[in-house]
Amino acid sequence: MEVGESSGARLSEEEIWAKLVPPDSRYSEVNIRSDEILVCSEIRSSSADKQEWCKISRNSDLCTATMQNVSSHTILVNETVVHDEDTIVIKCGTEIIPGPDREGYLSYRFKVMPSPEICKKKLNISVDVEHAKCSICLNIWHDVVTVAPCLHNFCNGCFSEWLRRSQEKHSSVLCPQCRAVVQFVGRNHFLHNIAEDILETDSSLKRSDEEVALLDCYAMIRSNLVIRSGKSLPRKRAHLLVDEESDDIDLPCPQCGTELEGFHCNQNTVHLQCQACGGMMPSRTDISVPQHCLGCDRAFCGAYWNAQRLTRSNFHPVCSSETFKPISDCSISRIPEAVHEKNQHEQDITKRCIIRMGRTLQDVVSDWIAKFNNREIDRTRMPLNHAEMITAATYFCNDCYDKLVSFLLYWFRISIPKDLLPPDASKREDCWYGYACRTQHHNEDHARKRNHVCRPTRGINM
Ligand SMILES: [Zn+2]
Ligand SMILES: [Zn+2]
Ligand SMILES: [Zn+2]
Ligand SMILES: [Zn+2]
Ligand SMILES: [Zn+2]
Ligand SMILES: [Zn+2]
């Protein structure tokens, strides 16, 4: 604890967060800097003698304090008598008389300083240092930049170097942390301050001056920047990565500025971001081609740009029409990973059944899509949105198509009489927990010895 002197008595690096303000300028203000002080000041109106008369401790809400009377007589706080050693909560505006009576004693006002600077300094935000590290160099961020849309953070120098190398080799820049396509990068001033504070608190985390200088010379992100994709950027443009002063306007999508199929975007056009490539497309209500996958409600651009007769762009990511098309147009050559709850023994049995029937996976899936389209299949357990609205003509993303195939292959397997399964499979008993069994995921032997393509008869309410 420190002893709080009247104003001017000492200089502290800590800022004044509150004051005890006397009735007039004949007496001095008590500046409160630390979180707990013993106040020593004038208490009587007739004497300049200073006495220790109270302790003030800042409360965790940062705007109130707890005052303890240490004067050996009572004091008055907002007309309330506070006995020796007792405490009372005070807040901005509280009147404090450091004696038993108004007569003969000063009256102080407790004043909390409004400066946001102080709030910033004093707010004890706890940050896990591990969360303030760059995943490229594993140090605390230096000149931190944030990439979008995934919002991961890196040192400016580290990410700039990554960006330079990516653009030499690839048509798009992927986030070094999560591999999402990076569309924008900008310096993050808020996180910069946090990183600075961390280094101030723990200087062992600081890097050497040489390292910092090296990072700074790699750093090329000066202002927010839109990253264009496209290998065949003209040479000059490819080097205009950081075009703060350039007149070049960054347009979100191929139809901003260029008319395609009688449409171009204007300032009011809302853009959707494609889940597959990260590129933008205008949100359209005047066309019939879907821009969202019905199974997952996510936006995909493949069908849209196909309808706008755009197959590629030098400056924007564009998906091929293969990535988003009607279910009936999709083709399949291998069993998706998720089939039969990822139980590979069951997948193998299904494969062998198809071969024994002299058919292909594509034949079977097409048959079952037809049955599905004719509403011959119960859709209640189908793991897709808008299950009742889906038809063979519905546009699906690849993930949703795989989910649909998994669902249909379950029904295909269920439809095969047990004695027509390969002999090793037909002899097995059903697992009580059926497809919902968890043991099949970690116990090979169990996964193989029991049939898991069946309904649970235990464990869950069916
Ligand atoms: Zn770094
Ligand atoms: Zn990321
Ligand atoms: Zn546009
Ligand atoms: Zn989907
Ligand atoms: Zn796309
Ligand atoms: Zn089981």
| Residue 457 Cα to ligand 6 middle (Å) | 11
Q: How far is the CA of 283 from the centre of ligand 3 (A)?
A: 9
Which two three-digit tokens encode residue 190? 């808020």
Pairwise pLDDT comparison (234 vs 424), residue with the higher score: 424
- Closest ligand to C-alpha of residue 345 is 6
Which among 290, 298, 297 has a CA at the least distance from the CA of 325? 290
Q: Given pLDDT bands bounded at 50, 70 and 90, which one contains residue 372?
A: very high
The one-letter amino acid at 55: K
Q: Is the pLDDT of residue 302 over 60?
A: yes
- Specify whether 180 is located in the same domain as 95: no
The CA R_g of the chain, rounded to the nearest whole Å, is 35
Question: 258 in a domain, yes or no?
Answer: no
Averaged over 16-45, what is the pLDDT?
89
Number of domains making up the chain: 3
Q: How confident is the model at residue 361 (pLDDT cuts 50, 70, 90)?
A: very high
pLDDT of residue 227: 65
Residue 369 above 80 pLDDT? yes
pLDDT for residue 371: 97
Compute φ and ψ for 187, nearest 5 degrees.
-75, 140
Structure tokens, 42: 């004038």
Residue 204: CB atoms within 10 A of its CB come to: 5
> Do residue 96 and residue 197 come from a single domain?
no
Q: Is the peptide bond before 422 cis (omega within 30 degrees of 0)?
A: no
Residue with tokens 């927990």: 433
Which of 36-40, 269-273, 372-376 has the weakest average pLDDT? 269-273
Q: Does the pLDDT at position 154 exceed 90?
A: yes
Residues 155 and 99 in one domain: no
Report how far ligand 3's centroid is from the alpha carbon of 301 (Å). 12
Looking at per-residue pLDDT, the higher value among 234 and 422 belongs to 422
440 alpha carbon – ligand 6 mean position (Å): 5
* Least confidently predicted of 123-127, 139-143, 157-161: 123-127
Residue 344 has pLDDT above 70, yes or no: yes
Buried b (16+ CB within 10 A) or exposed e, 390-416: beeebbbbbbbbbbbbbbbbbbbbeeb
Task: Point out the ligand nearest to the CA of residue 160.
Answer: 1
- Centroid of ligand 5 to alpha carbon of 321 (angstroms): 9
State in Å: Cα 259 to ligand 6 middle: 58
Judge whether 52 and 65 are in contact, CB under 8 Å: no
Domain that holds residue 211: 129-238
Ligand nearest to the CA of 323: 5
- pLDDT above 80 (res 295): yes
Identity at 283, one-letter amino acid code: S
Query: How far is the centre of ligand 2, averaged over its atoms, from the C-alpha of 175 (Å)?
Result: 5
What is the per-residue pLDDT for 226?
66
CA pair distance 179, 167, nearest whole angstrom? 14
On whether both 51 and 160 belong to a single domain, the answer is no
Residue 13 pLDDT: 55
CA-CA distance, 204 to 201, in Å (whole number)?
A: 9
3-class secondary-structure state, position 400: helix
Cα 323 from chain centroid (whole Å): 26
pLDDT category of residue 252 using cuts at 50, 70 and 90: confident
The candidate with the shortest Cα–Cα distance to 284, out of 274, 296, 295, 270, is 270
Q: What is the mean pLDDT of residues 102-129?
A: 75
Residue 43, domain member (yes or no): yes
- Residue 223 has a pLDDT of 57
Q: Among 114-128, 349-363, 427-441, which is the least confidently predicted range? A: 114-128
Instruction: For residues 298 and 386, give the distance between their C-alpha atoms in angstroms, rounded to a whole number.
Output: 13
> In this structure, which ligand is nearest to the CA of 327?
4
Quick one: pLDDT at residue 19? 92
Ligand nearest the Cα of residue 183 is 2
Element (H or E) spanning 212, and its range?
helix 209-218
Q: Which ligand is nearest to the CA of 259?
A: 3
At 421 the pLDDT is 92
Same domain assignment for residues 105 and 192: no
Q: What is the pairing mode between strands 18-21 and 108-112?
A: antiparallel
For residue 297, report the distance from its CA to the centre of ligand 4, in Å.
6
Tokens representing residue 344 in the block: 């590979």
> How many angstroms separate the alpha carbon of residue 402 from the centre of ligand 4?
9
268 against 83, higher pLDDT: 83
**Pair 177, 220 in one domain:** yes
Residue 381 binned pLDDT confidence (cut-offs 50, 70, 90): confident
In whole angstroms, give the CA distance from residue 206 to residue 9: 35
Instruction: Answer yes or no: is the ipTM higher than 0.85.
Output: no
* Ligand 3 centroid to residue 318 C-alpha, Å: 12
Ligand nearest to the CA of 144: 1
Could you report the per-residue pLDDT of 205-251, keeping only the tens digit for each?
A: 999 999 999 998 888 877 566 665 543 333 334 344 444 444 344 67
89 three-state secondary structure? strand
Average pLDDT in the chain = 85
pLDDT band at 355 (very low <50, low <70, confident <90, very high): very high
> 3-class DSSP state for residue 174?
strand
Q: Looking at the structure, do residues 23 and 117 belong to the same domain, yes or no? A: yes
The domain boundary residue, chosen from 77, 101, 122: 122
Look at 313 and 268; give whichever has higher pLDDT: 313
How confident is the model at residue 242, as a pLDDT?
A: 45
Q: Please check whether residue 17 lies inside any domain of the structure.
A: yes
14-18, 63-67, 389-393 — which is least confidently predicted?
14-18
Indicate whether 7 and 67 sit together in one domain. yes
Burial (CB < 10 A; 0-12, 13-18, 19+), residue 447, is buried
How far does the centroid of ligand 3 lie from the alpha carbon of residue 228, in Å? 14
Which residues are placed with Cβ below 5 angstroms of ligand 1, an ion? 134, 136-137, 155, 158
Question: How many angstroms does the Cα of residue 175 sit away from the middle of ligand 3?
Answer: 23
Please give the pLDDT value at position 237. 40
Residue 457 has pLDDT above 80, yes or no: yes
Q: Which ligand is nearest to the CA of 173?
A: 2
The pLDDT score that the predictor gives to residue 231 is 36
* CATH assignment at residue 88: 2.60.200.20
Please report which ligand is nearest the Cα atom of 437. Answer: 6
Residue 259 falls inside a structural domain: no
Tell me how far apart the alpha carbons of residues 52 and 75 are, in angstroms, rounded to a whole number: 13
Domain assignment present for residue 382? The answer is: yes
Same domain, 63 and 88: yes
**N-terminal to C-terminal alpha carbon distance within the chain:** 67
Determine the distance separating the centroid of ligand 2 and the alpha carbon of 153, expressed in angstroms: 8
Q: What angle do CA 438, 441, 443 make, to 5 degrees?
A: 100
What would the two tokens of residue 150 be?
């995934």
**Helix, strand, coil content of the chain in percent (nearest 5):** 30, 20, 50
Q: Are residues 149 and 105 in the same domain?
A: no
Does residue 459 fall inside a structural domain? no
Give the domain CATH number at 184.
Answer: 3.30.40.10
Residue 46 and residue 152 in one domain: no
**394 alpha carbon to ligand 3 midpoint, in Å?**
25
Residue 443 identity (one-letter amino acid): N
Which of 97, 122, 147 corresponds to the end of one domain?
A: 122
Domain boundary among 238, 262, 277: 238
**Same domain membership, residue 160 and residue 60:** no
Percentage with pLDDT > 90 across the chain? 56
In a domain? residue 9: yes
pLDDT confidence of residue 332: 94
pLDDT at 212: 92
- Whether residue 17 contacts residue 33, with contact meaning beta carbons closer than 8 Å, is answered with yes
Q: Judge whether residue 118 has pLDDT over 60.
A: no
Residue 29 has pLDDT above 50, yes or no: yes
Q: What is the pLDDT of residue 324?
A: 96
Q: Where are the beta strands (DSSP E) in 239-369?
A: 271-273, 280-282, 324-326
Query: Is 89 within a domain?
Result: yes
